[in-house]
Amino acid sequence: MTFKDDGVYIEHMLACIQRIKDYTQGNKALFFDSTLVQDAVVRNLQTLTESSQRLSETCKNAHPAIPWRDISGFRNILVHDYLGLDLNVIWSVIEQELPMLEKVLKQMQ
């Protein structure tokens, strides 16, 4: 994998974060009240976490502050435990984890 490939995945992850921000508008009630928004957010989280798995180990090792393993584990939950998804956990990720991830990804560009 090359730096160019990493850049494509980083851009893709940032686009997913932006879509999630657009869909939720930072509004917890909007997220909880709309299955359409929930589905869109979950899909973008799946895509974001899948893209994170495709980053090179060199790229990941250069940014140890990001919990890459946790992101990968979250992907597995989103994909394989879709019937047991906890909307409170997903909202917590949106509110608490994505802003920091977005900040670091922008620095990685």
Q: Is 20's pLDDT higher than 80?
A: yes
CA angle 76, 82, 86 (to 5 degrees): 95
- Of 33-42, 54-63, 76-85, 97-106, least confident by mean pLDDT is 76-85
- pLDDT above 60 (res 8): yes
Domain hosting residue 62, numbered range:
3-108
Active-site residue, from 19, 54, 63, 80: 80
| Stretch 31-45: mean pLDDT | 97
State yes or no: is 12 an active-site residue.
no
> What is the pLDDT averaged over residues 10-23?
98
Q: Which of 43, 54, 69, 75 is catalytic?
A: 75
Verify whether residue 63 is a known catalytic residue. Answer: no
Q: Are 13 and 52 in contact (CB under 8 A)?
A: yes
Q: How many domains does the chain have?
A: 1
> At residue 3, does pLDDT exceed 90?
no
Q: Average pLDDT for residues 76-102, to the nearest whole number?
A: 91
pLDDT bin (cut points 50, 70, 90) of residue 83 is confident
CB 31 within 8 A of CB 42: no
pLDDT of residue 55: 95
